[in-house]
Amino acid sequence: MIFAVDKGRWLTGDDDVARMQEFNGRAVASAGWAGYIHTGDIVHRLFSGCRQFEPSRIVHLWEDESGIAAWVMLQPKHLGFDLQIRPGLRGGSLETNLVAWCEQALLNVLQETNKQVDEIVIDAFADDPGRVASVESLGFTRGGEPYFVTTRPTADPIDAPLPEGYTLRTVRGPEEAEAVGALHGASFGSTWNPGEYATLMGTFGYSPDREWLVVAPDGSLAGFTETWHDPISSTGLFEPVGTHPDHRRRGVGRALMAAGLRDMASAGLATGMVCFEGDNAGSRALYLGSGFEIAHEIIDYTKAVSSSE
C-alpha cells in the first residue's frame, strides 16, 4: 500500500537516525548511488551543517508496513533539502508530491526563522530521471555549477609521503575540540562558536578514530578529514577534507586521503568516495590526482520564491 504524503512524522531521536542510515545503505546496495547520499552524509549534514537547527524540526519520515519509505532533511542554511525515497517507490506522481511537500516544509521553516530568500534549491543526480522530471515539473530550473561524486578502490594504496616534519594521527578526544573546530573554520572560512565542536563530538555517529589530522612541525594542526564507514554498501566517505591556508600545496590533503583509504581497506570496505563542487579547482586536482574517478554528476535546480511565500 502506498503511504499518504500528508501522514508522515518528524524525527524523534538517534534511533531514527540509525534507521535512516540503514535505509540508505540498503537502498544503495540494491539500486546504486544515483539519488542517494552516503550514510555518513546523513549525520554530517544533520549535526554539522545543520547544527543551528533542532533535528526534530528538520527531519521528516514516511513509513509503511516495510519500515521507512522515504525521509527528508530540510537544509534551511543552504536553502534546500535532501529527499530520499525507497527504490521501488521512486519516480512518478508520488515523488513529485513528496518534492512539493518538502518545498513547502522548507518555506515554513525559513519563515519561522525570519530568513528572507529569493530562491530555494534542490539537487538531482543527472542519471536519476525520475527526480529530474519531478523537480522540473514543479518549476525548478537548472542553475549553477554541478557537483561530482568520485570513487576509487580502497585496495589500491596512494603513495603520499608526509612533508618533512609533519605527522599523522587521529583526534584524541573532546580535549581537542576547540583546536579541531578552529582548524575546520580556518580551512573553509566558516565559524565554529565556543563549545560547538565539543557538542558535535558527542552526537550520534561521530568517532574521533575516524577524524584524521596532519600535525605541523610546530605542533599546530595543518589539515584534517572526517571519514565515514558504511558496511552495507561497503563504501567509505571523506567528508569534509580541509587544509589550513598556511599549509596548502605541501601534500597534506593527499596524505590524509591515503590514510583514510588505508583505514577503509582495513575495515573491509571496497570503495572510497569523495564529492566536490565543479568549480573547485583545488578539490578536483586533489581527488582526481589521488586516483578517484567521476562516477556521478549532481545538478542544482533552483526555484524563485515570491514575496507572498
What pLDDT tens digit does each residue of the chain (309 aa) get?
Answer: 578 999 999 999 999 999 999 999 999 999 999 999 999 999 999 999 999 999 999 999 999 999 999 999 999 999 999 999 999 999 999 999 999 999 999 999 999 988 789 999 999 999 999 999 999 999 999 988 899 999 999 998 899 999 999 999 999 999 999 999 999 999 999 999 999 999 999 999 999 999 999 999 999 999 999 999 999 999 999 999 999 999 999 999 999 999 999 999 999 999 999 999 999 999 999 999 999 999 999 999 999 997 655
Task: Please report whether residue 304 resides in a domain.
Answer: no
- Residue 302 falls within a domain, yes or no? no
Q: Does 281 fall in a domain?
A: yes
Q: Are residues 289 and 164 in the same domain?
A: yes
Q: Give every CB contact of residue 86 below 8 A, 6+ residues apart in sequence.
A: 23, 27, 66, 68, 69, 70
Predicted pLDDT of residue 144: 81
Q: How many CB atoms lie within 10 A of CB 280?
A: 14
User: Do 185 and 251 sit in the same domain of this protein?
Assistant: yes
Cβ atoms within 10 Å of 13's Cβ, excluding its own? 10
Q: Are residues 114 and 169 in the same domain?
A: no
My answer on whether 203 and 88 are in the same domain is no
Domain assignment present for residue 112? The answer is: yes
Give the separation between CA 196 and CA 289, rounded to whole angstroms. 33
Whether residue 179 is found in the same domain as residue 74: no
Cα–Cα distance list, 113 to 53, 80, 104, 110, 273 (Å): 10, 15, 14, 5, 34
Mark whether 206 and 76 lie in a shared domain. Answer: no
The count of structural domains within the chain is 2
The dihedrals phi and psi of 135, each to the nearest 5 degrees, come to -70, -35
Q: For the domain that residue 207 is a member of, what is the CATH number?
A: 3.40.630.30
Domain termination site, one of 95, 117, 142:
142
Other Cβ atoms less than 10 A from the Cβ of 153: the count is 14
Q: Is 104 left (phi over 0), alpha (psi -120 to 50) or beta?
A: alpha
* Structural domain contains residue 266: yes
pTM score, two decimals? Answer: 0.96
Give the pLDDT score at 308.
56
Residues 132, 158 share a domain: no
Round to whole Å and give the CA distance between 43 and 226. 12
**Nearest residue to 98 via CA among 67, 146, 62, 129:** 62
Residue 248's pLDDT is 96
> Is residue 116 assigned to a domain?
yes
Q: Give the domain extent around 27.
A: 5-142
131 falls within a domain:
yes
| Helical (H) or strand (E) element with 161 | none
Kindly state whether residues 182 and 129 are assigned to the same domain. Answer: no
| 133 and 211 inside one domain | no
Q: What's the confidence (pLDDT) of residue 116?
A: 82
Report yes or no on 306 lying in a domain.
Answer: no
Q: Which three cell numbers stand for residue 91?
A: 519516480
* Domain-terminating residue out of 96, 114, 142: 142
Q: Give the domain-ending residue among 92, 116, 142.
A: 142
Residue 232 · residue 31 · CB < 8 Å: no
Residues 91 and 186 in one domain: no
Looking at the fold, whether 262 and 131 belong to one and the same domain comes out as no
156/279 same-domain check? yes
**pLDDT value for 115:** 79
- Taking residue 274's Cβ as centre, other Cβ atoms within 10 Å add up to 25
